[in-house]
Structure 1
Amino acid sequence: MTKLRMLALVLLAVLLAACQSVPYAQRLQQRQQAYSAAAGTPVRSFRLVLGEQIYSWEPLSDTQLVIYTLPSKAYLLDVWPCNNLTFTNFIGLTSFASEVQTGFDKVLTGRPYIPCVIKQIRPIDLAQFKLEKESQRHIDNVPRNDAGNAPASASSTR
């Protein structure tokens, strides 16, 4: 195979991969907006329950992530640009006496990467987040006919 054909195939693969990631980027942006809308005013710190780990976490970008300390308690963290944040499989948080503070504590994403300093912490109103998420969902309602079947579309013929 000639070098030109190989280059064309590689470029085609890159183009297809870029087109495929557009819906993911849009979903990620919608989640960012929903979390930001549900986030409250900044706080200086939050407490981790002694002896327990982070319940869950979700990266939103290389500068933002959501930390769930309990299923019913979450925080939106803004950090300095953080290498590998959106791709890592695990994270860690530094803390002192189970307290995570802005400007002092960091998000850890793995050994070769520099820890990311936490710039801002905002508690998330999860009830508000659920409402924001529901408002972004688009559902088409189609009434059923008496037989319990969906009506035939206007373009179909008999």
Structure 2
Amino acid sequence: MRTPFRFFAVLAASALLASGCAANGAQRDADRLALYRSHAGEPVDSIQYLGRYNGWTPLDDGAFALWTRPNEAWLIEVHAPCNDIEYADTIGFRDLGGRISARFDQVYIGSHSMIPISCTIREIRPLDVKAIRADEKKLREVRQQDATAQAQPSGAPPSGT
């Protein structure tokens, strides 16, 4: 269920993108993290994990989305900084009994160029995947409109008139 806060968070992210404030990568990453957080449910103690996941999306040095199924994802926040999580090639988990637990288990970040590091999981929250996809689509449309508007020479009438 959407709350008024979520609506305003998405509206604010859209306004930032439309105004061109999100031109740099760091701001765009912050906006994406805010979007995921706005669609995250209440924290859970643990989730079922049978050693496989569909993918993951790094959000910053302290958070990522873990996709356990195509339409199921979790916002995993670790004790930051978890260096190079944005650039990792692989992630893995130390779990007990097929469950990943907040405050007890760790995520291992691996890359070809570094020794794997571990970060303790601070919080796990379910994500509303449909709402995230819908809002990401809206944000892409806003970016496309902004790019189109910037590409038109000033003083030229809009195409189709």
Q: Answer yes or no: same fold by TM over 0.5.
A: yes
Distance (Å, rounded) in 1 between the aligned partners of 2:106 and 2:65: 14
Counterpart in the other structure of 1:98: 98
Q: Which TM-score applies when normalising by structure 1? A: 0.69
Q: What residue in structure 2 maps to residue 74 of structure 1?
A: 73
| CA distance 1:73–1:155, change in 2 (3 Å) | closer
Larger strand proportion of the pair: 2
**Matched residue count:** 122
Q: Percent identity?
A: 31
TM norm structure 2:
0.67
1:109 is aligned to 2:109: yes
User: For residue 55 of structure 2, what is the amino acid of its counterpart?
Assistant: S
Equivalent position of 1:54 in the other structure: 53
- Equivalent position of 2:135 in the other structure: 132
Query: In the alignment, what sits opposite 2:122?
Result: 119
Residue 47 and residue 155 in structure 1: after superposition, are their counterparts in 2 closer, same or farther (change >3 A)?
closer
Higher helix share: 2
Q: Is the 8 A contact 1:105 1:118 kept in 2?
A: yes
Q: CA RMSD in A?
A: 2.3
Seen in structure 2, the aligned counterparts of structure 1 residues 155 and 70 have a Cα distance that, compared at 3 Å, is: closer
Unaligned runs of 5+ in 2: 1-22, 146-155
Give the Å deviation of 1:97. Answer: 1.3
Structure 2 distance, partners of 1:105, 1:98, is: 11
Q: CA deviation at 1:101?
A: 0.2
Instruction: Specify the alignment match of 1:29 in structure 2.
Output: 30
